[in-house]
Amino acid sequence: MTISIRCAAPADLPLIGQLIRDLAVYEKLAHEVRFDEAVLGEKLFGVNGGHGPYAEVVIGELDGAAQGFALFFHNFSTFEGRPGIYLEDLYVREAARGSGLGKALLAHLAALAVARDCARLEWSVLDWNEPAIGFYRLLGARTMDEWTGMRLVGAALAALGQTAQLGASQP
């Protein structure tokens, strides 16, 4: 069995959309999926007001057939004074689990992080997903139990944003 990892292209957008939906089903979060494929494509592959793509995607293949993906973007560590890579989503189709594809996707991102002089590669995992947690620990990842994730969405995000005084010099 041959494993290959390649950068996604705009033509992969339907595949990426399906893999995101498959991941959401696995995570019992299908009801949370709201993306518009055209908007997703613009954010992944477009210019976005001069910003460039907001995230990157790599596709994992077994014998030339797409079986998984990783979607990631850069963040920044003020303590390190260097960028990092944040893995938003990693998914391998059930039939391909145990093939080494998940490890290959993570190894690819680790190599990118090193090549891009990043201080770290990090991600979140649902606390009930023991198979994934065990897999990540085997690779040398450690849990960050001292941190609590926080998120603003929807009306709360909009309400707080309305309190800001953005000037013309703001990005």
CA separation for the pair 88, 4 (Å, rounded)? 20
Q: Which of 90, 117, 97, 87 is nearest to 20 (CA)?
A: 90
Amino acid identity for residue 8 in this structure: A
In sequence order, the β-bridge partners of residue 58 are: 7, 70
Rounded Cα distance between 153 and 117, Å, is: 31
For residue 62, the cross-strand partners are 3, 65
To the query of whether residue 86 is one of the catalytic residues in this protein, the response is no
The CA–CA distances, whole Å, from 112 to 19, 84, 98, 150 equal: 22, 10, 23, 27
* Catalytic residue list: 136
